[in-house]
Structure 1
């Protein structure tokens, strides 16, 4: 599956609306986990693999490539790190974590 790009067809949008391209990227397995982990600071491939527990090397390579192509992460001497744009995205998404905890507490457990 190709890296989602604004202006190109993506899941949920034939015209590639920017928000839909972003949701397509963020909705892929382990993408959010990688972003969350890299917010703490640069990390090597091995550390990311440990953090993401059951991720295969193939999947991690795909996610790192997609996030790099999307200018959300970049390579550094310490491994991978968020770009400024990646940090801004994390800051925008972070409040959803708090909301999700409240939502989870109120979620019916059937």
Structure 2
């Protein structure tokens, strides 16, 4: 599967609108999870694998390559970390985490 680049066909868009390329990327197994776990700070490959609930090394390696190519993650001496673009994206996603906690409470109340 090709890296979802804005301006090229991606899942859901033949024109590759930037938002659709982003949704394609974030919808891939563990892409969002890797970004979410790197918000805690830099991590070595092994530490990131542990943070991601023992993701397979092959899948982690593939996703890291994609995220690096798309300038959301970078590799430094301390390990992998979010770039400025990655941090900006996480800052947009963080409120969804709060929303999801409230939503989970509501769902539990309705299903009891």
Q: Normalization by structure 1: what TM-score?
A: 0.94
Corresponding residue of 2:3? 3
How far apart, in 1, do the equivalents of 2:49 and 2:10 lie?
27
5+ residue gaps, structure 2: none
Q: Is residue 2:33 matched to residue 1:33? A: yes
Corresponding residue of 2:21? 21
What secondary structure is seen at the aligned counterpart in 1 of 2:71?
coil
Runs in 1 of length 4+ with deviation above 4 angstroms? Answer: none
Corresponding residue of 1:43? 43
What secondary structure is seen at the aligned counterpart in 2 of 1:49?
helix
**RMSD (Å) for aligned C-alpha atoms:** 1.2
How far apart, in 1, do the equivalents of 2:95 and 2:27 lie?
17
5+ residue gaps, structure 1: none
Instruction: Give the Å deviation of 1:44.
Output: 0.4
Higher mean alpha-carbon deviation, 4-13 vs 53-62, is at 53-62
Q: Normalization by structure 2: what TM-score?
A: 0.93
Aligned residues: 110
How far apart, in 2, do the equivalents of 1:30 and 1:79 lie?
18
Instruction: Give the Å deviation of 1:104.
Output: 1.5
Instruction: Give the Å deviation of 1:109.
Output: 3.2
Alignment of 1:58-73 (within 5 A): 58-73=58-73
Corresponding residue of 2:88? 88
1:9-63 alpha-carbon deviations (Å, 9 max, x no partner):
0011110010010011011111111111111111100001111123111100011
Corresponding residue of 1:103? 103
